[in-house]
Amino acid sequence: MVELILCGRGGQGIVFLTKLIGEIATSKGLRVITSETHGMAVRGGSINSHVRIGPFYSPLVRPGQAGFLVSLESAETPNNAHYLTPDGILVENSPLPAEPRVFRCDAAGLARDLGRTQLENVVLLAFATMVGGFPISVEELRSRLAGDPREQVRTMNLRAMDAGVKAAKSSAAC
């Protein structure tokens, strides 16, 4: 049983990550229910997704219940930090150094180096899978991304994934 929140700004590909996590959990035979933001807010406004793995019916995480907060935009973290449990873990898209229970990765910078800023979501998710206790493993993520039939998308996603994994390995915190 684990609950997480993904947050950022509309257009950063949060729904894509939500689907990835949900599909991987589904293929493992786990019960999963999620909720996401659509409509006006996705035009650059604040958005988040809720993911609940376990015997849940409601798709919404209550404040103080999330084990992980994956934040694609550090400016959005304060909007969502209240969802974390007292010992919950924040994984943030940011060049700043790590802190206790805060893991940071400059996913935007790494994605820019790959030539596509939009890949920051995959970089950060791959980084998050390396953090202890995260509900999906890097192997599961890899096999999911490798299954994409569109060759270019597959190649770029796998490269983004490798960048995130590498960043996690070189950061002493993980």
Which residues of the shown chain bind other proteins in the complex (CB under 8 A)? 9-11, 18-19, 22-23, 25-26, 29-46, 56-60, 62-64, 75-76, 78-82, 108, 112, 117
Q: Which is nearer to other proteins, 116 or 169 (CB)?
A: 116
Shortest Cβ 156–other proteins spacing (Å): 16
Shortest Cβ 15–other proteins spacing (Å): 9
Q: Which is nearer to other proteins, 38 or 150 (CB)?
A: 38
Q: Which is nearer to other proteins, 82 or 169 (CB)?
A: 82
Shortest Cβ 9–other proteins spacing (Å): 6
Residue located via tokens 């493992």: 28
Shortest Cβ 132–other proteins spacing (Å): 24
